Structure 1
Amino acid sequence: MRVGFVGLGDMGLPMARRLLAAGYEVIAWNRSPAPLATLAAEGATAATTPAQVMAEAELVGLCLSSHEAVATIAFGADGLFSAPTIKAQAIADFSTGAADATRDFARRAAAQGIAWIDAPVSGGVAAAETGALIVFAGGTEAGLKALEPLFAAVSARVTHMGGSGSGQVTKICNQMIVAANVIAIAETTAFARKAGVDVTALAPALAGGFADSAPLRIFGPRMARQTFKPRLGAIGLMRKDAELVQDLASQIGADVPLIDAARAVYDRVEAHPDLSFDSDLSALVRLYEDEIAILDEGFDP
């Protein structure tokens, strides 16, 4: 089986590598050439356009930065659906985006006889590297069945949440918790340091208690040491996800004051001299610790 993959960013590249490790022929495309060249050197075929991926692969995975990017890559010029002949039977969209956009993608794909499953993931780069991602899936049972080989290579668990768009809503729920949690960890790290606690011992001390979480175990030590590379998640993407929560909350009449507050913190990054939306989430601690000497000699947020 030949599997296609489009989008080789922080998450997409290790996911595509998992497909190679599982023994699949992989044809991939990426907007910037360097990650594509890296994957090609490891055995993948480098496509010249997304349309080529759609024409040559039986299953296709997407991992892009937003639903706007997905719309362009799928339905724009030289996009997936511009292929004169289409071999693909089903598409797994691992990107995080708006549920209403996803429903539109699924309708347009179904009109051409192709299943579109929204399949956003959780677990971060480490889980992508080990094939242990958690998938929240929305769409048809038949589409999920067709995509089982792809899901098996990149994930530890797939939960079918309902019809098209329900995977995206579930991911947004996930991000509501994570977006607030990462800020809480940054605030706590700065607070503890100023109070005289050895912050490098903080995350291990809290392990197993009610405050413990995967973000604390991953980002807590990085914030304590102010080590922000390699990037494990961009601030800008979390800000985008907070905005998705706010947009959906407005549509359904939900109150999300904690996310409103978190979004305001993420917005502060734009004016900070040491940070950008491309910085790792761990670098959020710099919002609270400007007077603290940079501990990592290779500091580069």
Structure 2
Amino acid sequence: MTDSFEDQPPTPPPGRASLPDGLRFAFGTLTVLPARITRWDRPAARTGMACAPLAGLVVGLLAAVPGVLLLLLGGGPMLAAAVTVAVPAALTRGLHLDGLADTADGLGSAKPAGEALRIMKQSDIGPFGVVALVLLLLVQVAALSEAYAGSWTRGALAAATAAVTARLAMTLASREGVPPARPEGLGAAVAGVVPRRAAAAVAALTVVLAAAAALPLGLPAAGRHAAAVLAALLAAELLLRRCVRRFDGVTGDVFGALAEVSATTALIVLALG
């Protein structure tokens, strides 16, 4: 096990994949939206994971629609928030939530890396996973309810920002130097495929666009959205480093956990406003 995965030499995947191939990879891998994956190789994974925030944007907008409609029809902020939280779970078949639960079980097992990975592959959910799921969903609904209570615009922006940030965390976790924990699975397919400069550029662009989207609500709101993305990425980075030390790399479950933790962190920051 290495002390710092950032010290490993970069291993960029050879070859190139077109933008359409990358978008199909991103939507076909990270959502249940109809997208036929035309290439399943590392060049396609590189382009696809760099485009992951775009998949998050679509998921976030689709999640905001029923929440906003419920508010306009007279529903309360809590109901709007609960439905909004349910949509991304449905659009991913609950895989990210399942990844969070499995990662929590693996981290909480206190077993060696190999045994912890075996626990994560089991179909059942242990006590750590159950607690993590319940607490995270409660926090997400509560935070979104606060945003919707401000206005439907705040709630919709919060839902979109959280979904985009969740996939951005996956982009950064796919950067060069992050090793896979297993030789197979999604973690092995996408680990280390995104060049560090590209990952940093996508992150910077996302922060700027998140602030710009909230600018009509005022400068404080724009700053809060930028801060929410940055705080979420920090939380995801801390979890990523913990998982790499604990499991000797990343897995598909870890990617799911990173998405949920970063989305929740972003929602918490936005609720504070």
Q: TM-score, normalised by structure 1?
A: 0.27
Greater share of residues in helix:
2
Q: What TM-score do you get using the length of structure 2 for normalisation?
A: 0.29
Higher strand content, 1 or 2: 1
With a CA cutoff of 8 Å and minimum separation of 6, indicate the structure with the bigger relative contact order: 2
Q: Which structure's CA Rg is the greater one?
A: 1
